[in-house]
Structure 1
Amino acid sequence: MTHVTDVEAKDVLIIENTRSAVAGLLRGRSLAAQFLVFQLVVVAVVLVAVAAVSVTQSEAEFREVRGQRMIAVAENMASTPIVRDRYQDPFAAQTLAPEVDRAVALSGASLAEILGPDGVVRASSDPSRIGTRVDLGASRADEGRAWFGDADVDGTHSLVGQVPILAINGDVLAIASVSEMYPSVWALLSGAGESLLVYLGLGAALGMVASWLLSRRIKRHTRGLEVAEIANLADHREALLHSIREGVIAVNDDGEITLLNDGAQDLLGVPGNAVGRRVDEVGIDPAVVSLLTSGADGQAADDTVIATRTRVLALSRRPATSQGRQIGTVTTMRDSTELAALQGQLSSHKSVTDTLRAQTHEFANQLHTISGLVQLGEYDAVRDLVGTLTRRRAEISDAVTQRIADPAVAALLIAKTSLAAESGVELRLDPASHLGALDQALATDVITLLGNLIDNAVDVSVGAAQARVTVRIDDREGLTISVIDSGPGVPEHLREEIFARGVTSKPEVPGGRGIGLALVRLVTAQQGGTVEVGDAPGGGARFSVQLKAVRTHA
């Protein structure tokens, strides 16, 4: 027989209705109130679960202990001589009534009966049941075995113990049956001990207090914002970060990327799954990594320009704090590649202006000399001076144009020769140099590369014992540009950093030419080439640029 207890039915009802009940309680309430209600529901469910376990244990204990008791009472009643002698008497109901009543009184059972093998009640402590048929169901008493178990007695869930009354040959003559109703849930809880009710009440009180404190804490930490408001803020933040052109990257104190927008992914060339990984493990340029991880001291870095192999980036780093404690840094960046190119062109124009100024100064001195000689009537000296100046100018021009066929590059070298001479530096073109005519676009890039390398070499060679800069250009296998200076050279550990580090958009910062060497590497990378720096044979530094292909025109 299957029977659902009150406790089981209550558990099923709670499980089925918890979702709708919680949803109804939370609807329209603040975030703190929702957490409070939710925690109270959790506490209530836990208390019900504890109570259910306690009831189940008490019920199992009741079944085991009282089941054995029912069998013992039934055996005692079955062994009574009068019961064995008069169970078939037509007046057995009246004759055996004292015995079944005594069994009920002595055992505390709800009902005691004498049944026939067919289940018909012959004597009962409840006279109204005499003559009715009992469904023996799972009972084994009709087979000659004692049995106890659950059964329905007049619609009441009861614990029944049944013992057969056997004949000498083992036939079942009658059945002694004793039953007791299962106690109510409250009775089972009470039977588990009054302390259980105290503990349940104390647990409920503590749970309510803890839930209230938690709701207050949540409300304080969320600044009183509700769930929808927090979701809207998160959505707006994501939309804002990923829609702006400037790059934004946040790094915590452990060097892990905690935020990376689309702009930063594009500028740094890193994948979107870089969030959560260390900044030095996702392929970011080492110079940028150094800047991103150097903010542990809480110092800001404003307008720092770093040239990677493909871009010129202007970065600004700020410490990120929470509740007065630094948790990392936030760095914004913008692409200054076009600006750097414009600055390089401006530097080229400035170089031409400086060259013209130097030549103007030189020509003015020469004209003054000629004027003085004319006034003195030294016409032969005038002729000799003009001849010397003409030959010298022709030698410089011929030395360049015989080896360099591109007019723009040749003009740059001639102009730089005069400008270097004004600084006390000799600029020489290697006799092995050779360059044909170039496309206009390539000629512009070559001028940018050559101009910046020569300017850098002249600057570091000023004041040297033999101030000399040697330039070699060769287009027979690709295009190779080599510039050797007589300066102090470049230490090996700085040969990568000089193309990116120490460059800033602030004009007052020392460092010479701003983005000169950075622009050299950038233009070289755009042409698919490489740039290297090493030691010159006679001391100083040697900068070598190798471009993969040369585009010439007829």
Structure 2
Amino acid sequence: MVTTFRRHTLAGQMLVLQLAIVVVVLLAVAAVSLAQSEATFNRVEGRRVSALAEQLAAHPLVRSRLVRPAPEEALAPLVHSTLVQSSVTSVTVAGADGRVVSSTNPTVVGDRLPLGRGVAAGRGWSGSLTWDGSHELVAQVPVLGTTKRAIGRRLGTVMIGEASPTVWQRLSGASSYLLAYLGIASALGVVGSWLLARRVKRQTLGLEPREITGLAEHREAMLYGIAEGVVALDPQDRVTLVNDMGRRLLDLPADCVGRDLADLGIEGRLRDVLTGARGDGKAAHDVVVVRHGTVLVLNRMTVTKDGRLLGSVTTLRDRTELARLEREIGSFRSTSELLRAQAHEFANQLHTISGLIQIGEQEEVVGYIRALNQRRNSLDLTVGRRVHDTAVAALLMAKASQAAERKVTLHVSDDTSLGRLAHEDAADVATVIGNLVDNAIDAAVAGEPVGDGAWVEVELRQDTAGVEIVVRDSGPGVAPELAHEVFVHGFTTKAAEEGGRGIGLALTRLVCERRGGEITVTNTSEGAKFTARMSVSRSAEAAAEGAHR
């Protein structure tokens, strides 16, 4: 047979604990009462028995009988009358040799009386004494001679004792209301313990200690075992919980729990997303924010209980590496779109040439091919003459074809001048140009629904300090309140349709700042103007060519 033991509930444990405390307090009160009762008894009764003993020791009959020893019956009437009149427990008279000559307890007559300190020297003494199986509070007073022959000599000893009360007698005699006090205290303790147990039960949502421990362990495992950051806020926007990954992604100090977001230096869009300020406190899904050069994806959920707002929980993911991969994929996508556009354009040209041949217009074929060749050479010469870095020049050629596919004309400004760059610098410059041109093309298409007159202009200027990239478009421009935020928000493509410029602008800003530069946007009479500046170094071939010149 298997015996199962039922564990006590939290409320039951609290009730038992509180009752134990009440019992301990009651025992302590009882002990104090007993100590006070004993002290009072020793003080009051000690004085009384001492006075009685002195009175009996000074009695002439006692002195005379001790000077001339007589049978015990001679002092018995006096001893018993003292016992009856004084209501004491015992009265004993001993001779000079310490042997009892008369006592209310006949069994001790002839025994040696134990004397207290100083009694043998003629001084009185009082205290507790256990003798003949009885524990009493006694007073011993020497009987001193008064005649000329025996003056000052100790003739014997008188001892009067009062039996010490029992514990129950002391408790009942300490106070007539002690039991009532103890009963009231016990009742209040029980009721208070029960109410406290119920309150604790409600506050712990009915969970038992082992369940609370399990939840805490599971919470720790989830918070610190996942690769995502977790930040919890209370309704006052104070951090109530954050795991190690969340603290690292947001660059928070170790003592961030309990502090306000403003105290932690979290402002702008990141604060708006964490607090739900831009969504009326509602949930936010896959919101992209740039924090200290890191691209973060945030998901925020509000937490409520019984209609009461408890705060919010936001998860964070590091998307920086993914954004880099997206840029690389974007470059491949751009290349594929360029090839598709060129193939489409080449197919149209071949169809035109084929049609002219079929209708016998050979001379028109020659003229058409010559016109196509001149237009292509004009674009190649324009870019190649002003942009000497092959990677950047190839990108501009590709973007020109891509723009033409979308009915947008891409111009390279006559003021453009760019030398050869190091491979790392050329890659960053190409990234900035590609992102700005892509956004400019989107803006130009949005500004000209029909496609007539849509254009994008690129201007590159290089000096000893770095490269300045200016991209203008014929689009509707950027709203003044978003002039700075378009580089901070890191909107996705869907969010860009709601007023942003896509995550490419946020990444462009990161590239410029990493190279000690910046990017700004202004509105002109014709559209938007993006200006990016970044420091670069010339390639070894360009440096050698400059030295040769």
Q: Do both proteins adopt the same fold according to a TM-score greater than 0.5, normalized to the shorter chain?
A: yes
* Count of aligned pairs: 523
Match of 1:208 in 2: 190
Cα distance between partner residues in 2 of 1:452 and 1:79: 123
Q: How much identity, in percent, do the aligned residues show?
A: 43
* Post-superposition offset of 1:319: 0.9
Aligned to 1:510, what secondary structure does the other structure show? coil
**CA–CA separation in structure 1 for the residues paired with 2:392 and 2:186:** 89
| Aligned amino acid, residue 110 of structure 2 | G
Distance 2:81 2:480 in 1: 111
- Equivalent residue runs for 1:76-475 within 5 Å: 76-91=55-70, 93-116=72-95, 119-137=98-116, 139-167=117-145, 170-219=152-201, 222=204, 225-271=207-253, 273-282=255-264, 286-294=268-276, 298-352=281-335, 393-417=376-400, 422-423=407-408, 426-428=411-413, 430-439=415-424, 443-457=426-440, 469-472=457-460, 474=462
1:502-550 residue CA offsets vs partner (Å, 9 max, x unmatched): 614746852454311122244557x665544366999965543435777
Amino acid aligned to 2:491: V
SS where residue 344 of structure 1 aligns?
helix
How many Å separate the matches in 2 of 1:497 and 1:134? 107
Shift of 1:266: 3.9
Q: Contact conserved, 1:305 with 1:505, CA < 8 A, in 2?
A: no
Distance across 1 between alignment mates of 2:52 and 2:537: 111
Question: Is 2:516 the counterpart of 1:533?
Answer: no
Q: 1:517 to 1:170 in 2, by over 3 A?
A: farther
1:483 is matched by which residue type in structure 2? V
Deviation at 1:200, TM superposition (A): 1.0
Asked if the contact 2:230–2:315 (Cα under 8 Å) also holds between the matched residues in 1, the reply is yes
Tell me, what secondary structure is at the counterpart of 2:413?
Answer: strand
Q: What is the one-letter code of the residue matched to 1:433?
A: L
* Paired letter, 1:198: A
Aligned counterparts of 1:497 and 1:312: Cα–Cα separation in 2: 15
Which consecutive residues of structure 1, in runs of 5 or more, have no partner in the other structure? 1-25
Give yes or no for contact 1:308–1:522 (8 Å, CA) kept in 2: no
Give 1:459-538 correspondences, 5 Å limit.
Answer: 469-472=457-460, 474=462, 476-477=464-465, 480-485=467-472, 497-501=485-489, 503-504=491-492, 506=494, 509-511=497-499, 513-523=501-511, 529-533=516-520
Give the deviation of 1:166 after TM superposition: 3.6
Out of 513, 529, 544, the residue aligned to residue 532 of structure 2 is: 544
- Do the aligned partners of residues 47 and 70 (structure 1) sit closer, same or farther apart at CA in structure 2, a change above 3 Å counting? same
Letter in 2 for 1:250: A
Q: TM-score, normalised by structure 1?
A: 0.78
For the structure 1 residues 484 and 506, does the alpha-carbon distance in structure 2 shift closer, same or farther, using more than 3 Å as the test? closer
**Consecutive unaligned residues in structure 2, runs of 5 or more:** 543-549
Equivalents in 2 of 1:283, 1:114: separation in Å? Answer: 94
Residues 11-33 of structure 1 deviation map (CA, whole Å, 9 limit, x = unaligned): xxxxxxxxxxxxxxx99433333
* Contact in 2 for aligned 1:344/1:519 (Cα 8 Å): no
Q: Please, what TM-score do these two structures have when normalized by structure 2? A: 0.78
Residue 330 of structure 1, CA deviation: 0.8
Contact 1:306 1:504 in 2 (8 A): no
How many angstroms does 1:76 deviate by? Answer: 1.9
Q: SS of the counterpart of 1:39? A: helix
Distance of 2:72 and 2:201 partners within structure 1: 74
Q: Give the whole-Å Cα distance in 2 for the aligned partners of 1:174 and 1:490.
A: 122
CA contact (8 A) 1:425 1:461 kept: no
Instruction: State the secondary structure of the residue aligned to 1:200.
Output: helix
Distance 2:493 2:163 in 1: 93
Deviates more, 1:107-116 or 1:178-187: 107-116
Task: Mark the CA change 1:181 to 1:485 in structure 2 (over 3 Å): closer, same or farther.
Answer: farther
Code of the aligned partner of 1:99: L
Partner Cα separation in structure 1 for residue 337 and residue 484 of structure 2: 30
